[in-house]
Structure 1
Amino acid sequence: MVLAAFNLRLAIADVPPLLDRIQLDFGLSAALAGVLTGLPVLCFGAFALATPRLTRGRSPELLLVGCLAVVGVGAAVRAGPSLAFLFGGTALLSAAIAIANVVLPGIVKRRFPARLGLVTGLYVMALQVGAAVGAGTAVPIADGADLAWQGALASAAVPAFAAAVFLLVLVGTDRRPVDTENPKIRRIWRDPLAWQVTAFLGLQSLLYQSQLTWIPVILQAGEFTATAAGVLLAIFHLLAVPSSVLIPVLMARRNDQRSAVAVMSGLSASGLLGLLLAPRLAFGWVVILAVAQGGLLGSALTLIVLRSRHSGDATRLSTMAQGVGYLIAACGPALVGVIHQLTGGWELPLLSLVTLVVPMLLTGLRAGRPGYVGNVTGALKEDTLSSG
């Protein structure tokens, strides 16, 4: 699980540090470069919605193996000699990651029912570490090994193929499909609780993607050099790891998850307000934002698992939450950029992100109440959630 999750962000996070070189080689405009960096999030949403057709009657573990193999193929393809290879490979690996994103919560629900919080925390941690490794090693691989940006991007295929082989050996020929789902779960698109989980994940992802895209630019507009801003972004990824592990563990030990959502949302608002009102203390605010975003990502993915009775339910809720949620998130960086372009400063964009914390908090508080999708009025049983 951890090794698989590590590869689901590694091949995405290695592009931004190399983007200036890619632009130079292909003559990419800023707009087309933005499409390249935004393509994975769009694919996360679009292909997540198609996942139920792939999972029906199939082993989710073997599907995950296939996804990792496709990630490896896509990583290699994007290093090809033309824009078609670059965008095609990126879309291919992003589609595979989207499907893997959806099936992972169901696998956790089925394989680790007594350790939901811990295992969810570990795979969220692996997502963060993979992103940090991808961002931090792309330039050294390109320069140190004299592989250029093409070699650095292609190198992400190696751990993806290794993870696919390891997982295939581990699960063998297990072809069990997902567990029998609650019949009411088929009406998930009309379930208020499912929409609350979806809205919370979508708004959390929007804030996260917006911060990853624009915080380095905001820092450089102040007193930070490009190198210092890049280092601080890597620190952002790493400092998100502890809270991404701890929060899911704590949430799974309680019937009610609203307190965790409230605390992490408060930290997020504090960090954004700090950047707005006291930009000279940017390092401290970025630390707070990292802790908040790690905890919020862990919260969103944990709620998918905890609000589902069966692994089949978790897969369907994951499809809806991540499909719609990532499509919402894809709009964030572009909207922040438009507001900045219209105003010429970063005050209103930051204030807009602070404002979005409010609906994120409200939907998170609703999603954090005891209940299951398909049975909104039902209470969660204490023993079901006393895992860690």
Structure 2
Amino acid sequence: MSAGASTISDRAADTRVTTARRVLLIAGILLVAANLRGALTSVGPLLETIRRSEGLSAGQAGLLSALPLLTFAVFSPQVPRLARRVGMERLTWCALLALAVGIVLRSVPLSGMLWLGTILLGLSIAVGNVLLPALLKRDFPDRVAPMTSLYSVTMGVVGAVVSGLAVPLAGVLPGGWRTALGSLAGLALIAFAIWAPQALGRQARPVMERVSTTRTPWRSALAWQVTAYMGLQSFGFYIVLSWFPAIMNDNGISEENSGWLLLLLQVLGVTMSAAIPLVANKMRDQRLLATGGSLLSLAGYVGMLIAPEFAVLWAIIVGLASGICFVLALLFFTLRAADSYGAAALSGMAQSIGYLFATTGPVLFGALHDWTHSWSLPLIVLMVAVSVQAAMGLGAGRNLTVH
């Protein structure tokens, strides 16, 4: 074989290896994304069952739903610092294993394990929440929008399917709700295995490139607007995730049908998550989308208050709106950042403060219901929050970069 032919053959082999690595990277990213929602969405449809089983009050049940958000708030600012030391790939790999352990512990019928497992899985999910935008900014700088669409759709699909199947599985599996929740550890272990080549492979390139001169986004008004939008969106989303089935139950809809309505809501959110990044990437800025999605949520909450009998309609409206707002919050981490370091720093800040605020949502919602024995005041509080979110969207949606 001639030298020229050998060189061409070597280049073709290198191209195949590079393509295989890229495909494996994308598969790994999507499997990581698949584990960022299901462990949380599976709780809402089973919350009343867990309450009865564990003897929890409505406020305690709200705290159980909010606990992962609290761990996000506490741990998210530490994730970029840890990633700079050990590498984004290795930290993500460790988090996947910790997630599987946390899911199993949450399902163990021993005192305190429900709470300990929930904390551990919350810490693990925080890593993926912060690092996935940074990974996309670094490895797919020209494909941020379609990759954000892919990973947000994956999160949404898995979260929706898990929430829809939670009650039926709890009814047929031995061990009931514990086995239904614990079975999600299998998905985390699959992701752990697929991500292994990223964690154990080449570490030659920088852990997290830094181009921007800004040390921290905490002094940026734009960063605070992104954070507020993230927090208010999460405040509403996790309230709906935790309490929508209970609201439907109190309006005459069975527990199982309420779970399917929550599934519908999330499926519609996934639909919007697939389309919005591609649309947003072609717009001059995202102010119209950010504010419009928030006002659509407001319309759904008003409907739940004044005409709860049209539950399917409000599930559709809130589902579409939540998809718009959720994926925009994710997209802002990359669109408003200059590089992967900036994306991780902005993501860590927004998720820390945002989730700290969002933590109060399910707890406050449940406590207000306990106090008033009605869903009216809790829904009014939710309407006020989403109105402020609409205003924050006007700032976060501007075509600017955090400096």
TM-score of the aligned structures, taking structure 2 as reference length: 0.87
Taking a change above 3 Å as real, the CA distance of residues 129 and 46 of structure 1, as seen in their structure-2 partners, is: same
- Residues 298-329 of structure 1 deviation map (CA, whole Å, 9 limit, x = unaligned): 01110111000100100000000011101111
In terms of Rg, which structure is larger? 2
- Residues 218-253 of structure 1 deviation map (CA, whole Å, 9 limit, x = unaligned): 222224233322221121111111101211121122
Structural mapping, 1:328-347, within 5 Å: 328-347=357-376
1:192 counterpart residue number: 221
1:259 counterpart residue number: 288
Q: Is the 8 A contact 2:166 2:181 kept in 1?
A: yes
- Residues 172-200 of structure 1 deviation map (CA, whole Å, 9 limit, x = unaligned): 5132301114121x131111110000000
| Amino acid in the other structure paired with 1:224 | I
> Which stretch shows the higher mean deviation, 86-95 or 33-42?
33-42
Taking a change above 3 Å as real, the CA distance of residues 353 and 107 of structure 1, as seen in their structure-2 partners, is: same
Q: Is the 8 A contact 1:141 1:147 kept in 2?
A: no
Structural mapping, 1:1-388, within 5 Å: 1-169=29-197, 172-175=200-203, 176=205, 177-184=207-214, 186-374=215-403
Q: Distance in 1 between matches of 2:371 and 2:56?
A: 23
Q: Distance in 2 between matches of 1:134 and 1:29?
A: 25
Q: Distance in 1 between matches of 2:391 and 2:50?
A: 41
Q: Distance in 2 between matches of 1:54 and 1:141?
A: 37
Q: Is the 8 A contact 2:98 2:120 kept in 1?
A: yes
> Which stretch shows the higher mean deviation, 142-151 or 37-46?
142-151
Equivalent residue of 1:57, what SS? helix
Gapped runs of 5+ residues in structure 1? 375-388
Q: Distance in 2 between matches of 1:78 and 1:178?
A: 33
| Amino acid in the other structure paired with 1:356 | A
Gapped runs of 5+ residues in structure 2? 1-28
Give the C-alpha shift of residue 29 in structure 1.
4.2
Give the C-alpha shift of residue 350 in structure 1.
2.0
Taking a change above 3 Å as real, the CA distance of residues 83 and 32 of structure 1, as seen in their structure-2 partners, is: farther
Aligned residues: 373
Give the C-alpha shift of residue 129 in structure 1.
1.6
Identity level (%): 39
> Which stretch shows the higher mean deviation, 364-373 or 344-353?
344-353
> Which stretch shows the higher mean deviation, 168-177 or 193-202?
168-177
Taking a change above 3 Å as real, the CA distance of residues 84 and 301 of structure 1, as seen in their structure-2 partners, is: same
Q: Is the 8 A contact 1:57 1:178 kept in 2?
A: no
Q: Is the 8 A contact 2:41 2:241 kept in 1?
A: no
- Residues 281-314 of structure 1 deviation map (CA, whole Å, 9 limit, x = unaligned): 2211210110000110001110111000100100
Q: Distance in 1 between matches of 2:380 and 2:68?
A: 26
Give the C-alpha shift of residue 26 in structure 1.
4.0
Q: Distance in 2 between matches of 1:101 and 1:289?
A: 23
Q: Is the 8 A contact 1:198 1:320 kept in 2?
A: yes
| Amino acid in the other structure paired with 1:216 | P
Q: Distance in 2 between matches of 1:55 and 1:252?
A: 28
Q: Distance in 2 between matches of 1:204 and 1:372?
A: 21
Taking a change above 3 Å as real, the CA distance of residues 341 and 326 of structure 1, as seen in their structure-2 partners, is: same
Q: Distance in 1 between matches of 2:88 and 2:283?
A: 28
Equivalent residue of 2:210, what SS? coil
Give the C-alpha shift of residue 353 in structure 1.
1.7
Taking a change above 3 Å as real, the CA distance of residues 9 and 259 of structure 1, as seen in their structure-2 partners, is: same
